[in-house]
Amino acid sequence: MHAEPQDQHRWLEKLVGEWTYESEMLMGPDQPTMTAQGVEVVRSLGGLWTIAEGEGEVPDVGPMSSIMTLGFDPAGGRFVGTFIATGMAHLWTYSGSLDETGKVLTLEAEGPSFSGQGTAKYVDSIELVDDDHRNMTSRILGEDGNWVQFMTIRYTRKA
């Protein structure tokens, strides 16, 4: 059951390090845009997994903490992971793939809908801009069948 790191695992290693971030979130059509700032430390677990621990401050909400795990399952041929955060009771599970350029990891998940009624489909995309910058966007599939982007996070590697 011993696994050796593959190219996909090495891609995840590019996330390892200390980062600062700025985010913008729109949590509903009639809601104002919320901004947040914070830090994230990403570490490797045996070259097969990354663990990202974030800490930030959201105005009018307060401190927020999050943990994201990402890995690659060679048997399934998919990236896999999880996400949890303060203020959320849902364990997000990810399944995804890299685009043809090798710069964007798209992760699919299902979670509570913004209306509070049932669940919705989500897509988080992590784009490697360069060695010191990355972006993450989050989208939800609306009831009308259209994807709506509701969050953008811009990360900068700490010097």
The pLDDT tens digits for 48-74 are: 999 999 999 887 778 999 999 999 999
What is the CB neighbour count within 10 angstroms for residue 159?
Answer: 5
The pLDDT tens digits for 2-43 are: 899 999 999 999 999 999 999 999 877 778 888 999 999 999
Q: Which residues are CB-neighbours of 67 under 8 A, at least 6 positions away? A: 51, 52, 53, 54, 82, 83, 84, 85
The pLDDT tens digits for 88-146 are: 999 999 999 999 999 999 999 999 998 888 999 999 999 999 999 999 999 999 989 99
Per-residue pLDDT band for 76 (boundaries 50, 70, 90) equals very high
Beta-sheet pairing, 104-112 with 119-130 = antiparallel
d(CA 16, CA 19): 9
- Tell me the CATH number for domain 7-25+33-157: 2.40.128.20
pTM for the predicted model, two decimal places: 0.94
